[in-house]
Structure 1
Amino acid sequence: MGNNGNNKKLTLIALILMIFTSVFGFNNIPRSFYLMGYAAIPWYIISGILFFIPYAFMMAEYGAAFKKETGGIYSWMEKSVGIKYAFITTFMWYASYIIWMVNISSGIWIVLSTAIFGVDLTSKISILGLNSTQSMGVLGVLLMTAFTFFASKGLNKITKVAAVGGIAVTLLNLVLLFGALIVFSLNGFHLAQPIADLHTGFFVSPNPDYLSGMAIVSFLVFAIFAYGGIEVVGGLVDQTENPEKNFPKGVVVAAIIITVGYAIGIFLVGMFTNWNYLINKGGVHIGNFSYVAMENLGYQLGLSFKLSNSTAVLIGRIMSRYMGISIVLSLTGAFFTLLYSPLKQLIEGTPTEMWPEKISKIEDGMPKNAMWCQWFIVIIFILGVSFGGENAAKFFMKLTLMTNVAMTIPYILIAFAFPAFKKKEGLERPYIAFKTEKGTKIATIFTVGTVTFANIATIIEPAFKGNISDTIWMIIGPIFFTILALGIYEKYKRKTEKVLLHKNVKLK
């Protein structure tokens, strides 16, 4: 840290570390390997160049210009485009966390099973004669109910466990690095996932579901999702030493480190994991592959040191348990925070008149009534997806795709508003990344085009294979929340116009 008067400022290295820890997610590495093998690496590079870097600079400009605003995304959009656009964008941002909760409510049971038993046993769960997928949905409803109950009571101190889990998950990166290198070296420098040649090795997925052009392009959504969290840079400009020089350098260096980190991580998984070997074990899907891969790392370490098979299996179970415990702690804290934080920001950051008095009421620092409305929407989605009559593999893939699409849609809306923000007069702009109109247009086209194209490919790709259900569920969420947002806004508009009628003022 450096000093500027009495205020501590972020050095270049501190800025890079801040961006890295906010964006880099360990779980994205094995999941990407599951979908694309080494072929995931080029797509991380492409999305880093076309999306991550320009979008990060956009967020920096927004954050610097509106650093005194407390409404977050709503304030940015409202002052750049208008109230209606701002509310829809903010509501879609909030809705993405609804879908995230749908995913985690069911998926966390895999993590819990792994933490306790060292292996995913969720495929054997049966509640009241229901199959495993339906049972996971019921467990998801129970979890959402319990978490909402305790969070509404103001018992949010449990969020502190996220810090412990976060440290443990961070250490997983070192476990992956050194564990993979040890296995690789002790096995005579032979890759478990071999590379026949450059083309098949890095441009052809071992996953038969990701061989068509549409499916390959749809992987962009996974790569873009892996860069989530870059919103944090919006508030770091004025906290950085010599921002005009250090900030762009920090963003570019962080982007390179994160991209290279993902690329190396995916390659490390291939050092000890043969894709076909793990998949042929049975019961492996995107929801549990991360834990299966880490269990395999422990197992391969044991074999590499010439230990007995039973000892190698034990090391594998210990490794998967460690990851399971780490993720449980991290997700539990994050879940409690996200139950109320986005909802509270949505209610407090938008005009009070948009919400019924009961919904906007804050008790003990919590929007309790709104949280139970949120609970109702989440369980409807959980039950709708889990009782869709599909097996666990398709169920968790559907949840993952729904989450990725929902979480990336706000990126499109925020980036699309950027040219309007640049043309807005009267704003104090202490930091400017794009100094020309041409640069602004190119950055907007790259960002909006990349995310939009990737989402369209992701949404329609299942339909081409005859899996209409996945396509419907990926679009039903955004459509539902868009209609809901428009309904809330129109009601607010009519209410406000009545109040302002005597002034002959019409709301835009």
Structure 2
Amino acid sequence: MKKTKYISWPVLGLMAFVNVIGFDDIIYNFKNQGLGVITTWIFLFALYVIPYGLMVGQLGSTFSQSGGGLSSWVRATSGDTLGYLTAWTYWAASIPYVVDTANSVVVAFGWLINGNNSMEQHMSNAMFALLTFLVFIIFIFLQNHIKNSLQLLNALGGGAMFIMTILFVILTVVNLMHGAHIASAPLHVSNFTPKIDLHFFSTLGLLIYATSGSELVAPYVTRMRHPKRDFPKSIIMLTVMAGFLTIFGSFSLGVFFNDHHLPADLKMNGSYYAFDFVGRHIGLGHSMMFLFSIAQLLYMFALLALLLDAMTRMLILDTGKRFMPRQLLKLNRNGRPINGYLLTSGLSAAILLMGVFLPDMNEIFNWLLNLNGIVSPYVTCWIFFAFMQVRKNSQKFHSDYVFIKNDRVAYLVALWCFMITFIAATFGILPQDVPPSSFTYWQELVMNIVTPAILLALGLIMPTIARIQREKAEK
């Protein structure tokens, strides 16, 4: 009799943590809002992230036998067509995420090899795009040939990133106790008050992008020993870790960076600057920066593994023959949808090609990052949609774990989260890191509209191709 290998709830919590948030997410939003982001984080966790995670916990518990995650939830509550559309849009939204992650791998190697940001000054846009694409190809090959790579990488990557973040916060406190100067001083209430303007609203999508994604681990619920009991534990573990990371991490950044005069390349290189600062302040030279570079590579490898595997399985294995061309349904000897991986790589290459025409490597990185702040929140809306359908029909959908017993109140909380997410995604279309009305601003605005539209259109074409193939087979 074959012994079943279960995923424990702490490991699943780490897998969710890897996909949801990292030290870089703190850097990105610190660059957008400065120390005021701490207040934004607190409100976001209290009014959005905690209910979001607990809704995912109930959905995962309700559909614990469904292997497709979010798409399964929507299909079970609203039919096959919307289930497919959910799977496609989730997969399509993950394409910029995968590209951004592969970009970060290249940047991490640059810091590990050079010990500074000189790669940005010497590398052309085309070479940056080519190296990013090579990361895809190499990683798909390795993942396809290494057994149990997903769990191993996520345990190593998630653990290493959380340890490094705790270490950064601790070392920041040590520096302050030894009289280190606070770069953002003098500190007043105004430092922690976000400036509510058009720029603020355009950055909300990136905040939601930074804290969303826990539902991506839902396909692995069926591999837990007690999914209905343990999945909510994983989500609570994720929320605690992410809350610590964002709030204390943001304050620590304010110690080393003046939030009124931040470097233009902070989103791309800020994590390395931060660990280099803290290492030099405690007399360790550049060793902390190199240590973080290694942790960052492990984290990004884990994220690539989870994204390439989970998002492709959700799309290819959970939509069925009715919607997907038969070529994409083909599995290799390891049971992996290899043609789905190739489609992912091809579309990623197309997005990279679009970015080549931006002014420099830093702008490519920022544009891809901000693109995630548009497409990811739009897709997150499906979660709240599915939850509202479950609570509208609570007599039909039973769960051992229930978020808010009163159906009407639970529905209104989900509607609140839906509205916040949709509004944030829409404002995110506005470019954030370039001067308004400049040529690059209009260029990125067009790309922010065209890219999601093309990905959505391709998803609408797939069922037509599948239908034509079925008709030919029948004849």
The bucket for the TM-score relative to the shorter chain is 0.7 to 0.9
Show CA shifts across 1:143-189 (max 9, x none).
3233344445x34665534533433222212321221012112126x
Alpha-carbon offset, residue 381 of structure 1: 0.9
Report the TM-score when normalising by structure 1: 0.79
Letter in 2 for 1:139: L
Q: Is the 8 A contact 1:65 1:429 kept in 2?
A: yes
Q: Match for residue 390 of structure 2?
A: 421
Does residue 170 of structure 1 match 2:162? yes
Task: Pick the aligned partner of 1:119 from 116, 126, 146.
Answer: 116
In structure 1, what is the Cα distance between the partners aligned to 2:460 and 2:262? 46
Provide structure 1 residue ranges, at least 5 long, that are not aligned to the other structure.
1-7, 127-131, 205-210, 303-314, 501-508
Alpha-carbon offset, residue 267 of structure 1: 0.8
- Against the structure 1 CA distance between its residues 39 and 120, is the aligned structure 2 distance closer, same or farther, given a 3 Å change threshold? same
- Percentage of identical aligned residues: 20
Q: Match for residue 34 of structure 2?
A: 37
Show CA shifts across 1:369-413 (max 9, x none).
33222221111111111x223123322110111123233222112
Q: Match for residue 465 of structure 1?
A: 436
Does residue 359 of structure 1 match 2:328? yes
In structure 1, what is the Cα distance between the partners aligned to 2:85 and 2:184? 45
Alpha-carbon offset, residue 320 of structure 1: 1.1
Letter in 2 for 1:358: Q
Q: Pairwise CA RMSD of aligned residues?
A: 3.5
Task: Pick the aligned partner of 2:208 from 224, 234, 244.
Answer: 224
Q: Match for residue 67 of structure 1?
A: 64
Provide structure 2 residue ranges, at least 5 long, that are not aligned to the other structure.
1-5
- Against the structure 1 CA distance between its residues 491 and 428, is the aligned structure 2 distance closer, same or farther, given a 3 Å change threshold? farther
Alpha-carbon offset, residue 363 of structure 1: 0.9
Q: Match for residue 377 of structure 1?
A: 347
Alpha-carbon offset, residue 77 of structure 1: 0.8
* 1:27 alignment partner, SS class: helix
In structure 2, what is the Cα distance between the partners aligned to 1:91 and 1:215? 30
Q: Match for residue 3 of structure 2?
A: none
Letter in 2 for 1:454: A
Does residue 297 of structure 1 match 2:278? yes
Q: Match for residue 134 of structure 1?
A: 126
Q: Match for residue 192 of structure 1?
A: 183
In structure 1, what is the Cα distance between the partners aligned to 2:203 and 2:131? 29
In structure 1, what is the Cα distance between the partners aligned to 2:7 and 2:303? 27
Task: Pick the aligned partner of 1:203 from 168, 188, 193.
Answer: 193
Report the TM-score when normalising by structure 2: 0.84
Alpha-carbon offset, residue 336 of structure 1: 3.9
Q: Match for residue 284 of structure 1?
A: 265
- Against the structure 1 CA distance between its residues 24 and 483, is the aligned structure 2 distance closer, same or farther, given a 3 Å change threshold? closer
Does residue 438 of structure 1 match 2:435? no
In structure 1, what is the Cα distance between the partners aligned to 2:217 and 2:37? 26
- The residue correspondences of 1:21-36 to structure 2 (distance < 5 A) are 23-36=20-33
* 1:286 alignment partner, SS class: helix
Does residue 324 of structure 1 match 2:293? yes
In structure 1, what is the Cα distance between the partners aligned to 2:11 and 2:45? 21
Which protein is bigger by CA-based radius of gyration?
A: 1
Letter in 2 for 1:324: S
* 1:215 alignment partner, SS class: helix
- Against the structure 1 CA distance between its residues 79 and 496, is the aligned structure 2 distance closer, same or farther, given a 3 Å change threshold? farther
Q: Is the 8 A contact 1:144 1:379 kept in 2?
A: no
Q: Is the 8 A contact 2:18 2:157 kept in 1?
A: no
Alpha-carbon offset, residue 111 of structure 1: 0.5
